[in-house]
Structure 1
Amino acid sequence: MPEARGDARTKMVEAAVVVLARSGYQGASFSAVLTESGAPRGSIYHHFPGGKDELVEAALELQTARVIAMLEAMHGIPPRQVAERFLEAWHRTLIGADFAAGCSLLAVATSAGPALQATAGRLFGDWMGALTRALTVGVPRRRGRRVRRRAAGGVRGRRRDLPGAAVDGRARRAAGPPRPGGGGAGRLTPAELS
């Protein structure tokens, strides 16, 4: 059966997420993406006439949509569980890739040109907004202002901690997940997180 028109594009975008996380922006060549995806070589310029940056942007959008969907699925659970589950997802990424992969968004933010860096920054802001909402949705109004202010302020103020923890874990081949400790949920007291 012939491959549906969008299947090759979807496979390449999904493969680009993996290649970016594993090899960074510089290592995310079309050849690496084609090898990872199994898509035919002619598909690249058909689906991505804007070249590598168009493919990378699509990969970042996909990864962001996945992270936001994960965080939105956590709405209504206690903030402590949101923080633990989010950090556990980073842990699974690191362990599952035997510490050979990190964050595709961070890879682009640190090594691509200004346009893609701006895209990565905007999308990371979307991640942080979704994390803040997940941490604060359903918090009772009586204590909600304090929790929302501290959670949101901590998340915004410590944006670099989350990808930094992924980089640190990958570099040290850390066995345990990064733990909150100073920003975001880490600034909330145990009573506020429960």
Structure 2
Amino acid sequence: MGQQTSPSRQQLVAGAADMIRRRGLNATSVREVAKHSRTPQGSTYHYFPGGKQQLAAEAVRYAADTVAGILAAKLRAGPVEGLEAFLGLWRHIITSTDYQAGCPVLAVSIEETGEERPDAVVAAGEAFTAWSAQLAESMREHGVEQARAEHLATLVVASAEGAVAMCRAQRSTRPLDHIATELIALVGAAIGR
């Protein structure tokens, strides 16, 4: 448990998530994460004996938990509010970093690693599933039939991830703005707003 709460460990995980969302997994090295996190390089091997893949998996879980926490708080007000917060988070990330950062979960899931299913990719799949489940549950609580809620939630997560990638490539928030308009209308209609 002591390792779980160590400031150096937390810095490394947060630093890895930041580097992965900016550069991708393949362009992120353990040495650079230590430097970026302002922690001794030896601490990476102490806290992450599994090396880069272990650190990447924990960085993905960290990012996933951060987004899930924001979603949980905002979904209390309803699915549209949760959706707006989810999309607003991505808008803030891309604009505050001058289109240099996206989603570390997406970055890990699309890169070829040479391994069959490394832990970081498994963690990415779990993140997408968790976010979709949170959104679907909120819609179900607001009267949307289960299958429809699951379909809409998948559409939301997939659209947001794709739009973030497009925004970075185009250096514009237009893709995110466009999907926000349509997704908010769809979810609003589904819950009878």
Query: TM-score with structure 2 length normalisation?
Result: 0.84
Decide which moves more: 157-166 or 104-113.
Answer: 157-166
Indicate the residue corresponding to 2:148 in structure 1.
Answer: 150
Distance in 2 (alpha carbons) for counterparts of 1:189 and 1:48: 44
Indicate the residue corresponding to 1:41 in structure 2.
Answer: 41
Decide which moves more: 152-161 or 55-64.
Answer: 152-161
Indicate the residue corresponding to 1:174 in structure 2.
Answer: 172
Indicate the residue corresponding to 1:164 in structure 2.
Answer: 162
Indicate the residue corresponding to 1:118 in structure 2.
Answer: 122
Deviation, 1:82, is 1.9
Distance in 2 (alpha carbons) for counterparts of 1:133 and 1:185: 16
Indicate the residue corresponding to 2:101 in structure 1.
Answer: 101
- Please give the secondary structure, in 1, of the residue aligned with 2:74: coil
Q: What letter matches 2:131 in structure 1?
A: W
Identity %: 27
Indicate the residue corresponding to 1:26 in structure 2.
Answer: 26
Indicate the structure with greater helix content. 2
**Residue deviations 1:35-68, cap 9 Å, x none?**
2100011111111111000000111111111111
Distance 1:64 1:109, change over 3 A: same
- Please give the secondary structure, in 2, of the residue aligned with 1:25: coil
Distance 1:189 1:64, change over 3 A: closer
Distance in 2 (alpha carbons) for counterparts of 1:175 and 1:162: 12
Give the conservation status (yes or no) of the 8 Å contact 2:13–2:59.
yes
Equivalences, count? 183
Q: Please say which structure displays the higher CA radius of gyration.
A: 1
Distance in 1 (alpha carbons) for counterparts of 2:124 and 2:190: 34
Deviation, 1:8, is 1.1
Instruction: Within 5 Å, give how 1:78-97 maps onto structure 2.
Output: 78-97=78-97
- Please give the secondary structure, in 2, of the residue aligned with 1:69: helix
Give the unaligned 5+ runs of structure 2.
Answer: none
Query: TM-score with structure 1 length normalisation?
Result: 0.83
State the Cα RMSD in Å.
2.3
Distance in 2 (alpha carbons) for counterparts of 1:193 and 1:95: 32
Tell whether 2:16 aligns with 1:16: yes
Indicate the residue corresponding to 2:191 in structure 1.
Answer: 192
Q: What letter matches 2:47 in structure 1?
A: H
Deviation, 1:129, is 1.0
Deviation, 1:76, is 2.9
Distance in 2 (alpha carbons) for counterparts of 1:181 and 1:29: 38
**Residue deviations 1:88-144, cap 9 Å, x none?**
11100100111000010011001134223233112211121122234444x2xxxx1
Give the unaligned 5+ runs of structure 1.
Answer: none
Distance in 1 (alpha carbons) for counterparts of 2:186 and 2:160: 14
Indicate the residue corresponding to 2:71 in structure 1.
Answer: 71
